[in-house]
Every structure is written in structure tokens, then in C-alpha cells.
Structure 1
């Protein structure tokens, strides 16, 4: 290729190149235009679409409008009313600020801009095929606000038009773009029409009930019912919104919305912090659902790092990560999922891990505020007691009827009082709220796990109990080598193991809470769960990066040593277990995210027997 002289690009081509960064498809246009409407103070926004946005897009708002002498400026690149100096760029408070949306759209469509301000009796119209072909504004009748009509998107860039998908696909993208904006601005009404048919009509939602209704309209009744509203503050930040219950976790991360200063963003640091908060209550292949709003000093977040403004950069990402991880984890521990069974008929079989038939009570203000009747961490270890099984004696206190009766006079326990056991797996308990059904194994698993975690986090190691007769077991040479190098990690989770041959190890002690477990089987499961043990310098201690792996192992141990189905308990022992559940954090679900108890309330019971009809 022969050398070519350097020349400035034509303005039209410059605008079309810039449009490629902003306008990907019709949904991109909707996003930019609706964000402009929100910045203009609109209270009602109407989006009209034809042929999935390929033929026409129209966005109407009742904002403060654009003065006639500024209509042409609105179509000029880098012309904006939202920032004036670097100081304002470093603390952006508006959704748009670059002044590229309208000129970029105008460069690849036939754009018509109509607007009226409160200072003018009538509005003005400006038509443009691109940013360079603007004519003088023409007067017309128009209500207060702005209407932007975009016809024939990509008509002058056929290569871009070929990449557009079917009308239904493009419409789905438009709906998702509008859904995100509507979730971020409850005080604004939205409507969406396609081919003359109204698809959406969302009224402004100022009350808690109206916001819950909008949440259900946009994300479905299942999420609205299986989530809890939270508010918390700290480290100069405020977080509010809806946390999906662990029992409503999904197989993909398609219901995760995080807004920073009302701007929907994607950020790995923040997303990791939220996921870490859920790690104790979810399967590893499940994703939490949430709609969260983080308010932070605009000077602490840079929104000018992506043309589409999807990504941000926090000036102190570590603090944001820790705030989200710790506060959300605390909030999850306080939520009391009053899981209610379907009222039409009793379900059959075990509930799936992503079951959504749940409701939740709501912690308010900061995470330190306890939700009504929410299970919370006991400041001191639970008292000693007895269960039918030997290991249970070390977990619970001796149930004292007099003490329990005195408590009942004071306040009814959350889970009421046991009335029996069915299928040797579930406890039935009665309270003023209805009939509780408790999964013994799932609940006990959570209790054991929290006890193990508390021990490991306290002195740095789980309390051990020496075996009367050490157990020698065969392993592979690689496993034997790993055990030899991983004494610190093994002792931290309550296992004392040493190598006694090329392919032999000896278990000398196990966690005191699990003294009834098979030592050899327990060690095999631990080694299988944590294959990276032994891959560090023994003198370096336990690396912080291994702490999540330690918790995974503790969860496995809890599952291994908890009460199994098929064991019969007395009424006293059942009540002991119920009281322990109530004072254990995160006891509403097991370590894998499955619910530990469900409520069949009075309404459901009445429907089962057609009472009141």
C-alpha cells in the first residue's frame, strides 16, 4: 500500500466514528435519549417503537426542555449543559455528561428534535440527517418537555444495519434497557409502545408498596416475593435495595442490578464483594439475585472510563468491596425468611435449590439493627444439652422445660413449639403464625457450620478431640506429601494428621463437634475438597487466599457431621433444636442455599380444607 498524506477526517465521518462508540443498536439510542430525559428532570417518559426500533424510535418527556436558540447546539459534539470544568467532570452527578448522544444518533439516522421550555408559549422543531445539516428551528405546538424522533437508524451506514437482529430481538434489548432505567428511577413514570400497542405502563412509585409493585412488574412476582429490602450505611457509603433470598438463587447471573449513584454499572470489584457476602449460603454454581443502590461521594468514583458509561472505577475499590461483602453478609444473617408453602396444595418432594415461594421480613436502617424475630448471633456460645445422638449432646444445651416455659411467657419463639416428627426427617412445630416444617438435617448442618466457623475465627483453629485409637489409612503418595506439608491448614479445621509412611497417614484428632464421624472418611472428603493444600511454604503460615477454601471445608464437615434423616427425636430434643436454629445466624438456609424451614400459615391451612368458602 502506497504512503498516503495525513489529512483531517471530514466532520461527517468523525461523527459516524463517534456514533460507533455510542450507538450499537436501537436499545443504545433508547438508553441515551431516556438518560437525557431523566437529566432534564422528567417525571413521565414515553418510548414509542416501530419495527423493533429499526424504522422509528420516539422518546417523549415532560422535562424542562431545550430553548430554541440551543437546539442546534444540542446536536453539536461535546456541547453539554452538564459540566463546565474539570472539577465537575471529577464529580459527575448526571447520567449523561459528554455531549455525544444526540450528535452521534443524528450522524446515523434521520433525527427530529422538538422541545418547549416554560419560558416559551410554543415549541420549536429542528430536523437533521446528521450533525452538519441542521437547519433553523421551526415553531410548532408542543407541550412542555422534549420529543426526539429517530427514523431509519443506520440508513447511511448499511454495514452497521446488517448487524441488527430480528425485530423481536431488538425489542427485547429495548425492554431490558428501559427496565434498567425504570429500576433506577422509581419516582419517574415510564411507558413503552410497539407498533401502536402499549407493552408497559409504570406509574411513578413513591411509596414502599408502589416500589414493590414496580419491582414485581419489571422482574416478576417470584423475585419480589423472594427478596428482602435492606438499608445500611458505613464508610461514607449508603446501600439500599433488595437482596434475593438464598433460596431464590439462579443458575445464571441475569437478575443482578447494581446502581451507583442511580447509574447501573458493571464492576468486578463490587460484584465480587456481593458474591462473597453470599458465599456461605449458596451452591458454588448458583448466582444471587439482587437490586441494590450504592450511594457514594461522586468524587470517589470515576464514571468517565467507558463510552457507554457502563463501567466505573472506584478510587478506593478495597473499601467498597469490604463494605459490600461485610454489610450484605450481616444483612443476610438478619433476614428472617418466613418461607410460606403454596396455598393451593402441598408440594411433593424436596424443594429445588432455586425455589422462589418465599417472603421475607425486612431489616431496616443499619445491619446492626435486628429485624423482628430474626435469628441473630448469640454473643456467647450456646449452653450444653442433650440429644438422642452422642454428637448432639456436644452441640445443644440440656433442654429445661421450666426455662423454656418462662421464655414462652415472655415472647413466643419464632418457630413455636414442636408437636411431632414426620418421615424421620422433618419437625412439625406450631406457633401463632401457623404450622412450621423444619428440615432437621439442613438446619443442623447450618448450626454445626456456624459453630465451626466461630471456633476457627476465634483462636484460629477448630477445637479438637483426640482419638483413643489413632486411625491409620492408605492414601496416594501425592496425598501423603500434601498432608505432610499442610499441617497448619489441617489443624486450623480441627484435624491432627501425620504421615506414617510413603502412602500412609494417621489421624490422631478430629473436630470435637464431629467426634462421632468416621475419621478416615472425613479426611478423604477434606483432601478431595481442598486439593491445593500443601502447595505453599510451611513457614509462611496460612495464606489469606486460602480462607475461602477453609470455609468450604468447614461447610463440608458440617454436612458430614450433622443429624441425618431417619433419626427419631423426643419432643424435648426437637424444641432444643428449634431454639438453637433461632439463635444461629443464617439459619434460614443450609450451607448449600436450601431452606431449612417453611411455614404453612392459617390462610394456607384454610384453603387446603376449603374453609371460609
Structure 2
């Protein structure tokens, strides 16, 4: 009841012990604002991970309901990262270490293959304090540009040490956002440090073809190449032009092309032109109104992202990823609102080893996953066993279906199934976020474009 009963010296273990139980038991108004036990536990785990990563030389332990969730022995930064993120990261970490007069950057970044679809394993620490910074996160993503997919995010744990006078921590109630005196310098240092680390470990090419200001001060740039130097270079035995007889390949002189047979160039492709089948095609409006699938017999994929489908008076340009999002959304919405999906038992159950925060999140989502047909059971500390998947989709089919993204090639059968499934939806023209899934090009519009 917030009363001090006794205050005296006592024997206790070294360190700090924090215990939380019966929170707000005598303040109902505050207690009502608490979320579920799983949600609150997830917040505790997130804060625990941040503090333990900031001080890897300290021992940390977290216990929930009598069960020890984390037992982190004191060690190096890499050991602490492996303890928290899992042993699979042990061989997938690249060290980052750059020391300057202005600031020091250290830590580890994950190799490109550790990139994930979410921003979970991303940690910035400034003077051993966890911060969130979209600006610095952009610097990390820019350093990984071209090495990971556009919809993936790299993993990193970076420590920045600099003069406290260069930062202002009083810009956020929880101190998780800070303001740097010169953000551009921090951005440049972070990006350069990560690029250097990737190049040093032969993950990225170390050659940089961008203009370097330090090169402008070299004598070779400042002093022009005089005619005397040029004549001396030509007379040298090392000077050989491509026009000499020792040239590797003889190049025939360019002759005037014969353009008389230009019409034959287009005859070879006539067999592959998709033609409108007339009665076999169905008006798009009719397909949407009657909620019937259209018989798309021939489809073309462009840039592994768009699907061209012919209709009676024009054609459709379908975005395969947005169309797939609409299909999955209506499928799982129908299951969630009407009945529990049937589950297909797995002959060989799959065991998952998750990070502590991900394990807490999965525990919270187990009831919802069971509704859509997944049977997942806890299997020890941070481990789960997948006993079954939705019955209407096999494990391999589900994996392949979930991976339909922009940039993935598809065969004729897959494209046909995707387009037909799209127009079987109640709202096929937009995805769950409101973006169009296809664009219709009518014949009269095309005629106007060509001035007909």
C-alpha cells in the first residue's frame, strides 16, 4: 500500500533485482489500461533485450511465472548478440569498428542473407543508451543497397560513442529519440563504416567509383599532361595501340545495312501474337458483376511483375503482388468470420527456434493462427512445433504462394490461376490497402493513342 514498513541493512546478492507482480492491484483505473499478459510480457522482453545489449559485460536474467526466459552470462558484444538473437547468427555477423576524433562506431551487422521482412533485429545505442532513429536507419539501408531485396531490412547492433555535448536527449518522453548537433556527419560516418565493413569481409566490392574529394589534391590531377610527356609515352616500348598487327580481333569495316527486308522482321512473331477469341472472351464488367472467373487462356508476364490478360475489347495489366494480396485477404477474412479452417496434420512436424521477443509474440498469436488452420504448440524455451497447416494448401504450396512478389517469374499455369482467383473475389479491383490490382486498357483508348 505504498507504505515503508522497515528500512535497514540486509544481506543480498550483488547487482539489481526488479520484481513486478500484482501491478496496480489497488488502482483499478490504471489497471484497466493494461493490455493482456502476453502483450505486457512482450514489452518487458523488448526493454530487457535493449538494456542487456547495451551492457554485454553484465549478467542478466529474466524470469516469468517461475520459468527463466533469459539467462545471459557476461561476455563480449558478439556473445551477447548470439545469446539473444540465436546461435545461427554466430557465423553471420560482420564486425564494424571505426574510430575518429569526432565519434567512434562499433558493433556488428548481419550478412545480407540475414535480412528479414520486418525491422525486428535493429538496434542503435548512443553512449550505451538505446535510441530510435529513422535517419540513421536510412544510412544503414543505403549501405546495403543492391545486396538485399527492396522489401527486406538488414540486421544490426551498432554502438556510437561521442561527446554528450553533441546530442540533446530531451526531445522525447522516453528518451528513445535524440537530436544530434550535426546529423549529416553521423549519417556519413555510419554509412561509410558499414560499407567499409562489408568490403573488408569481401561481401561488397571495395571499389568505389564515386568522386572522392581527396583525389583532387593529387599532382596527377593538378598538373596537366604536357606534349613532351605525351611524346615520351608514345615512343616508349610499352605504348601499343589497338591498330597494330598484334591486335587480338580483326574488326570488319562497317557496311551499310540492307533495310529492304524490314517487313520480314515482324512476320516471325505473328504466331505468338495473342488474339481476341471473340465469344470466348467475357466482358470485364460482366465478370465482376456476376463474380465469375474469366477463361484467360494466354497470358504474358512483363518484367516478372505485371501480367497481361486479353479481354473482349482491350487488355488488362495486372500487378501480380497486389492481386495476390487481395486473394489472400478475402480468403483469410472469410475463414476468420465464418468458421475455423480445417487443419492438415504434418507427417513430420517442424520445430522452430525463435528469439525471445518473437517467441512471446508467437505465443500471443497462437489463438488467431489456430483459427486460420495452423496447429502450433510450445516446445520448451523459445521453441515451437508446427503440427499442422491449413488443409486446403500444402506446406510447399503455401510457401510458394506466400512468396509471390514483384520480380518473381511465373509460368502460364500459375498466372492463369492467379488471375482467375482475383476475379473470383468480391472486390478484385483493389488490394487491402486500396491500391489498384489491375489497369484496363480498352480498344478505343488504344486507337486514340495511335491517332486512329
Could you say which TM-score interval applies, normalised by the shorter chain? Answer: 0.3 to 0.5
**TM-score relative to the length of structure 2:** 0.43
